[in-house]
Amino acid sequence: MKYIQADYSGPLHGKVHIPGAKNSTLALLAAACLADDIVTLEGIPQIDDIRLIEGISQDIGMQLKQEGGQVVLDPRWIHSAAIDPGKSSSYRASYYFAGALLAKFGRVTIGFPGGDDFVSRPIDQHIKVFQALGAKVQIFQDYFVVEGTELKGADIYFDTITSGATINAILAASRAKGRTVLHNAAVDPEVVDTAAFLNRLGARIYGAGTDRIRIEGVSYLNGGSHTVIPDRLIAGAFLMAAGLNGGQVTVEDVIPEHLGSCLAKLEEIGLQIECGENHITAYGTGSLRATRIRTGMYPGFATDLQQPMTALLLQAKGKSIITERVYPMRFAHVPQLRRLGAEIEIRKESAFIRGGLPLSGGWVHATDVRAGTCLLMAGLAAEGSTYITGIEHIERGYEDVIGTFRSIGAKVSIHDRPDMIVTEDRILS
């Protein structure tokens, strides 16, 4: 069993190159299925989810070649739209293959999405999209089937703001007949990136980045190339790391506008922020103030940043409150932080954090990507050594988490102990 060891590291200093956005990458790789010629994607991160997509691509006949951060896909030989439920259930964004393959094949079989478990990740809005475009959806125990021989444009009103369903609607409507208008659409940068990629191939998508998106269906999409946007969530976590012990961290190759709410909150609690055209520097002043945060859909404070933010607020004297409005049960990291001495109380969808108390190292378990980041950051601020299991979740979202944190002075290492047995009482409770 592999685990990460994190030791108290003092102030962190250095520069971090931010890779392409995981959440955008997963949409773009599926979107390539819509093309009728070769597609080249630049800046693709080398993470475990990409390897899962590579396996799915081989099964359905899409050639996928990786060379560094470049991925070349050839969708011309796709021969199947039946995706192995075991593979598709291994990560959340597998549902994009339904939207990307439906117009070409008329029938898609796919397992329910997996990935990080936040108790409830419903796909009801995705189903609503497919039905609005004229498809039928059949639900089975571990997979679902979407069938529609001819997709037709429609007006679609989302009941809630959802980035995943907005992207899936864009994919499915791009090759449907006629006009589709999405109302109450998500405005996330990943939505804009997916639309920009498809427009490069010849799609006609207007208004991405607003809550009303219009798609004029086309019958053919060319090949082409596109560079994925940088990962705003990884960038935000490293900026927070600067505040742990009064350090200074610069994230490079970023789009500062994508981090507006995060930067505002970091300044509010006492960090100094300096933005350039494609870089951001955070200066830790050594004194942090408690605050209140409510997560929300973009441009609100991202749910993916509340976990690393929790680690930072443990260093801020006073009581902080984080209210999780996107995934109200996303607090699996809290019992683990308590193992290190944190005082956090959960009431409904809010975490009440008593900051400024000393932390001590111990054994903890990561249950998802961002929880892993949170625990690693807490370990860097705790006395002694912290040992983090469940690192396969961290590797799903980071190319080289150890090397990147080491580059800014963090004392972290990865170990392999095949003789170690982890029990629920010891780690998970």
Q: Dump pLDDT digits (tens) for 151-181.
A: 999 999 999 999 999 999 999 999 999 999 9
Structure tokens at 290: 């408690």
Task: List the one residue out of 196, 318, 172, 341 whose CA is nearest residue 255.
Answer: 196
pLDDT band per the 50, 70, 90 thresholds, residue 114: low
Predicted pLDDT of residue 252:
98
In this predicted structure, the answer to whether residue 122 has a pLDDT above a threshold of 80 is no
Task: List the one residue out of 184, 202, 234 whose CA is nearest residue 20.
Answer: 234
Average of per-residue pLDDT across 303-314: 98
Predicted pLDDT of residue 396:
85
> Which amino acid is residue 336, in one-letter code?
Q
Predicted pLDDT of residue 112:
87
Predicted pLDDT of residue 91:
79
Q: Which residues are catalytic?
A: 116
Predicted pLDDT of residue 275:
98
23 known member of a binding site = yes
Q: What DSSP character marks residue 292?
A: E
Strand 39-42 to strand 224-227: parallel, antiparallel, or no bridges (unpaired)? parallel
* H-helix segments, 48-174: 48-60, 85-88, 96-105, 124-132, 163-174
Predicted pLDDT of residue 133:
98
Measured distance CA(379)–CA(386) in Å, rounded: 5
Predicted pLDDT of residue 129:
98
Predicted pLDDT of residue 397:
86
In this predicted structure, the answer to whether residue 192 has a pLDDT above a threshold of 70 is yes
Q: How far does CA 291 lie from the centroid of its chain?
A: 24
Q: Which are the contacts of 184, defined by CB distance < 8 A and separation ≥ 6?
A: 157, 158, 159, 160, 161, 211
What is the tens place of the pLDDT at every residue in 386-402?
999 999 999 888 889 99
| Type and span of the H or E element at 393 | helix 391-395
Among 118-132, 203-217, 381-395, whose mean pLDDT is lowest?
118-132
> Which amino acid is residue 197, in one-letter code?
F
What is the tens place of the pLDDT at every residue in 335-378?
999 999 999 999 999 999 999 999 999 999 999 999 999 999 99
- φ, ψ for residue 119, nearest 5 deg: 75, -50
Dihedral class, residue 348 (left if φ above 0, else alpha if ψ from -120 to 50, else beta): left
- 10 Å CB burial of residue 18 (0-12, 13-18, 19+) is buried
Predicted pLDDT of residue 75:
97
Predicted pLDDT of residue 420:
58
* H-helix segments, 175-314: 189-200, 232-241, 260-269, 303-313
Radius of gyration of the chain from Cα atoms? 22
Measured distance CA(161)–CA(306) in Å, rounded: 19
326 known member of a binding site = yes
Centre a 10 Å sphere on the Cβ of residue 279 and count the other Cβ atoms it contains: 18
168 known member of a binding site = no
Structure tokens at 3: 């685990």
In this predicted structure, the answer to whether residue 423 has a pLDDT above a threshold of 60 is no
Measured distance CA(151)–CA(130) in Å, rounded: 9
Average of per-residue pLDDT across 74-84: 96
Percentage of the chain exceeding pLDDT 90: 86
304 known member of a binding site = yes
Average of per-residue pLDDT across 93-120: 83
Predicted pLDDT of residue 136:
97
**Sheet of strand 248-252: strand arrangement:** 13-17, 248-252, 279-283, 272-275
Centre a 10 Å sphere on the Cβ of residue 272 and count the other Cβ atoms it contains: 14
User: What are the CA-CA distances from residue 406 to residues 163, 306, 359, 374, 376 (Å)?
Assistant: 33, 23, 21, 16, 12
Predicted pLDDT of residue 118:
47
pLDDT band per the 50, 70, 90 thresholds, residue 117: low
122 known member of a binding site = yes
Q: What DSSP character marks residue 146?
A: E
125 known member of a binding site = yes
Predicted pLDDT of residue 366:
97
User: What are the CA-CA distances from residue 66 to residues 9, 51, 142, 353, 415 (Å)?
Assistant: 35, 10, 30, 43, 28
- 10 Å CB burial of residue 314 (0-12, 13-18, 19+) is buried
Helix axes 22-31, 189-200, angle to 10 degrees: 30
214 known member of a binding site = no
Cβ(416)–Cβ(2) under 8 Å?
yes
The most confident of 299-308, 397-406, 412-421, by mean pLDDT: 299-308
Average of per-residue pLDDT across 218-235: 98
Percentage of the chain exceeding pLDDT 70: 95
Q: Which are the contacts of 357, defined by CB distance < 8 A and separation ≥ 6?
A: 314, 341, 342, 343
